[in-house]
């Protein structure tokens, strides 16, 4: 294992050095580039390096693509396109693992399709039929993947710390992202934890008509095997194939995601259209629940207040809330020589951004565009927000994106408002601010002369 880690470390180092050289050469030949073009080039080079390094690093790139508070669109878009392209394990290896994990219970799987329905870096999913005749999906962990991931994460953390020394990459907080990624990926290795997540989501959605998660078969589930009901339907990434009442499906899905975020404080942390299934019986089903984010109770009220300020287009209040509750605040790129945070400029930029939407009906404003602009301001001024907030924001963007594809008239802000009002009442106390605003911008009310 130690020798393999040594060889793997050398290979990763060579790939990363090659990526840096590739970036330098391409910069040289392209000549003068704008800031956005340079960012886009870095994102393409980073995505290509992740592809060359394999499944663990592809997963790392995918998770980085969900952090718009850390990365700009030039990084996000190439990383979001990364796909797990891995060969399935042999049927013999899968059968051996099933027998070892389930023991005598293996007999209850009357048949198992040897060709996986899906294969990713951590596990693959097979369609099976129980001895009762029920069709199920069996998620099987790749043999030995836990040891491989442990080694890759150790190497990744080392190289992330090395790359963080480069001025161009320091703002990305790669070392912190690598640590967060390692914890998230290790959590995905315990399928009993995913089974618990399934049950918790099922309880939270029990009174939401039309919303569901796959039912787990606990007797046929272990840390490395997860057996669930098989869900027939169309993935949310193919909404054009959905029939029936599309507007109803849009309201169900968006409403459930809003409840998940603002009422339950327990969110799917890998939410994208491919992890949502729209069924023929007009249900919205969330799948692949291994990664979740729990919003601490003390952060619920600040987050709800922030979204209310967003919905009211109150740029000054959005700026204040994100600033006072930020775990870390740095210096903006244009003020590296100044030790003081320029709150006036920061607030003015937030206010100016929201002024662009002044006078427009809420139904004509896309929350995704507004949030993307705010994330850009946070990156520029080095205002780091709590990671749970970014998971929430991604969930809201998915809710709006999928909802509008199903029903273009869907207004996510209008749908959210009554939920927000109830959430404010249910969460009367929030966390104490980490800092106070010492300087008000020119946009704040001025005393009379």
pLDDT at 229 over 60: yes
| Residue-averaged pLDDT of the chain | 83
Other Cβ atoms less than 10 A from the Cβ of 208: the count is 14
Other C-beta atoms closer than 10 Å to the C-beta of 272 total 21
| pLDDT score of 230 more than 90 | yes
Domains delineated in the chain? 2-82 (no CATH), 86-146+169-230 (3.30.200), 233-442 (no CATH)
The Cα–Cα gap between 270 and 78 comes to: 17
pLDDT digits (tens, 9 = 90+) for 134-183: 999 999 999 988 888 778 888 878 877 877 777 666 655 666 667 777 77
| Secondary structure (3-state) at 242 | coil
Return all residues near 159 (Cβ < 8 A) that are at least 6 apart: 12, 13, 16
Q: Is 296 helix (H, G, I), strand (E, B) or coil?
A: coil
Residue 334, pLDDT > 60, answer: no
Q: Is the pLDDT of residue 338 over 60?
A: no
Are the C-beta atoms of residues 401 and 102 closer than 8 Å to each other? no
Residue with tokens 């244009």: 334
H or E element in which residue 416 lies: helix 412-426
- Determine the pLDDT at residue 205: 95
Contact 410, 403 (CB under 8 A): yes
Which residue numbers are catalytic? 270
What dihedral do alpha carbons 115, 119, 123, 128 form, nearest 10°?
-30
Tens-place pLDDT, residues 95-121: 999 999 999 999 999 999 999 998 887
């Amino acid at each position: 294992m130690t020798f393999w880690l040594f060889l793997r470390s050398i290979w990763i180092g060579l790939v990363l050095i090659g990526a840096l050289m590739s970036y330098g050469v391409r910069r040289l030949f392209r000549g003068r580039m704008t800031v956005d073009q340079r960012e886009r080039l870095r994102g393409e080079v980073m995505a290509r390096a992740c592809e060359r390094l394999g499944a663990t690093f592809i997963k790392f790139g995918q998770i980085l693509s969900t952090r718009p508070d850390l990365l700009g669109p030039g990084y996000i878009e190439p990383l979001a396109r990364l796909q797990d392209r891995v060969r399935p394990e042999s049927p013999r290896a899968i059968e051996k693992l099933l027998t070892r994990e389930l023991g005598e219970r293996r007999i209850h799987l009357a048949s198992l399709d040897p060709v996986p329905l899906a294969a990713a870096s951590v596990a693959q999913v097979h369609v099976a039929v129980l001895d009762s005749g029920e069709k199920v999906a069996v998620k099987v962990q790749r043999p030995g993947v836990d040891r491989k991931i442990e080694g890759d994460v150790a190497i990744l953390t080392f190289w992330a710390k090395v790359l963080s020394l480069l001025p161009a990459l320091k703002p990305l907080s790669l070392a912190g992202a690598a640590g967060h990624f390692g914890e998230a990926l290790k959590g995905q290795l315990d399928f009993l934890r995913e089974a618990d997540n399934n049950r918790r989501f099922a309880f939270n959605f029990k009174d939401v008509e039309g919303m569901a998660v796959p039912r787990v078969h606990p007797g046929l589930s272990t840390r490395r095997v997860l057996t669930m009901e098989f869900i027939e339907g169309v993935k949310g990434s193919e909404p054009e194939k959905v029939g029936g009442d599309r507007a109803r499906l849009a309201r169900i899905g968006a409403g459930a995601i809003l409840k998940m975020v603002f009422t339950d404080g327990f969110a799917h942390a890998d939410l994208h259209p491919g992890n949502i299934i729209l069924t023929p019986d007009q249900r919205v089903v969330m799948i692949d629940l291994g990664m979740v984010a729990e919003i601490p109770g003390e952060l619920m009220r600040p987050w709800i207040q922030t979204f209310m300020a967003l919905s009211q287009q109150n740029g000054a209040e959005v700026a204040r809330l994100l600033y006072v509750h930020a775990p870390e605040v740095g210096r903006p790129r244009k003020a590296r020589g100044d030790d003081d945070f320029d709150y006036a400029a920061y607030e003015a930029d937030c206010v100016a951004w929201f002024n662009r939407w002044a006078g427009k009906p809420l139904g004509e404003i896309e929350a995704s565009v507004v949030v993307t602009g705010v994330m850009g301001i946070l990156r520029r001024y080095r205002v780091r927000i709590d990671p749970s907030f970014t998971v929430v924001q991604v969930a809201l963007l998915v809710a709006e994106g999928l909802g509008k594809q199903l029903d273009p008239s869907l207004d996510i802000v209008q749908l959210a408002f009554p939920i927000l009002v109830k959430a404010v009442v249910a969460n009367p106390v929030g966390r104490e601010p980490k800092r106070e605003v010492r300087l008000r911008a020119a946009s704040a009310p001025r005393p009379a002369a």
